[in-house]
Amino acid sequence: MTMKRPVFTLILLLAGSLPAAEPITDPLRDYLENFDVRRGESVITADPDLNGDGIADLLITRNTLSNGRQGNLWVCYESMGAGSFRRIDELAEGNPIEFHQKAVSFRPRRDGKGLELIRYSPGGAGEGMLSSLKLSGGGATETILEDLRPSGEPDRYTSLFENPKSQLAFHWEKSDVLLARYFPLGRWFLHMTPLKWAIAVLGALATLVLVLALVRVFLGGRAAPAVPR
């Protein structure tokens, strides 16, 4: 009974110290925390300046997260200045941003407000569609541009998606490495709920008691062999 009160107080104190919603300062950490990243995956990033503010925005996905032939599902972290970012993880109709790494390029927007992404969506039988992805009003929009048959217009397709000057540079990193770097204590501590905190505190206390008991046994054992004069 004497143990119950301090444990309960501790839980309340820790629950009270849970972080409130804050501006995103580390997009990669935010992605690892919120998008069910697992070990054994690869996290893929690209950092074009989509909103044209002179600071790189960040596009993040992982190799296992794709939608058929259409490519990966991406989350965009738009820079807001002063080291903070805004997360954009869906388009107007509710779907996430998607594009194939081999069928996307960037070009300056006509309104001069940064870059737009041009993507090709394959439809089978050698046909597909071109569309444009832009950041606007705190979100992102995708506009269908035209049909395209790459085998019929190979030069156009090549100039769009195989031109080194307009290709996005993708960086791959093992999720194991990133998780170990950002969460050295393991995934269990990713989303701390009150129950998890309670288990953690109880576990820590039990460990402390065990250590104290062992120390006492050890000291008692050393004192025992003393022989009286």
Other C-beta atoms closer than 10 Å to the C-beta of 121 total: 19
Binding status of residue 103 toward another protein by CB under 8 A: yes
Distances (CA, A) of 202 to 14, 162, 196, 215: 13, 57, 10, 20
Interface stretch with another protein, choices 6-14, 58-66, 77-85, 209-217 (CB under 8 A): 58-66
Q: Which is nearer to another protein, 49 or 63 (CB)?
A: 63
Encoded amino acid at 30, one letter: D
Binding status of residue 130 toward another protein by CB under 8 A: no
Please state the closest distance from residue 205 (CB atom) to another protein, in A: 26
Binding status of residue 124 toward another protein by CB under 8 A: yes
149: number of CA atoms within 13 Å, CB side?
4
Please state the closest distance from residue 65 (CB atom) to another protein, in A: 7
Cβ proximity of 95 and 112 under 8 Å: no
Binding status of residue 194 toward another protein by CB under 8 A: no
What residues contact 221, with CB distance under 8 A and at least 6 apart?
Answer: none
The contact set with another protein (CB under 8 A) reads 34-36, 63-73, 89-90, 94-96, 98, 100-103, 120-129, 131, 144, 150-151, 154, 157, 161, 191
